[in-house]
Each structure stands twice: as structure tokens, then as C-alpha cells.
Amino acid sequence: MRVKLAAPDALVLVAWAGMRVVGMLLAEPGRGYARLQLWTGVDNDRALRLYRRVGFVPGGRTSRTDGGWAIVQFVRPASGS
């Protein structure tokens, strides 16, 4: 059975380096945010599918981490804005 994700009320992002958490962010739409953005690895197919499924689209920007990994920006309007 496949479950479709609903529009989230909040989005928690966790940044990992190896086995260590290096950052966390909680974004709550309706708290002054008009747009949510995130970055993920260009080859991270599971994350790319998840973010698209909850309404994120490519934001048109790419970059590289300090470790040289290619990353891509995704954006979506905050619900209720």
C-alpha cells in the first residue's frame, strides 16, 4: 500500500555529515514565512522524490558543499501565505 503525504504543517530538516548531525531547522508555515527553501544532493533520488511529492520544485540554483558534493535548491510557497 502506498501512502500519499499531505501538506505538512511544519518541516524539520536535519543536516548530516557522516554519522554526525551538523544542523537542524524547523520551518513552520504561517509564522512569517512566505516561501520555504531547502538544499539536497543532486544525486539523492529518495530525497528529491520526497520533496517533489510535498510540493517543492527546483529553485534554479545549484552549489557545492565544502566537501565538494553537488547540491540543488528546492522551494515551495509556505501554506497559508
Q: What is the pLDDT of residues 23-79, one digit of tens each?
A: 666 666 666 667 778 888 898 888 888 889 888 999 999 998 888 889 899 998 876
pLDDT class for 81, splitting at 50, 70, 90? very low
DSSP string, 29-59: TTSS-SEEEEEEETT-HHHHHHHHHTT-EEE
> What integer pLDDT is reported at residue 18 of this predicted model?
73
Q: Is the CA virtual torsion 56, 57, 60, 62 positive or negative?
A: positive
> What integer pLDDT is reported at residue 49 of this predicted model?
87
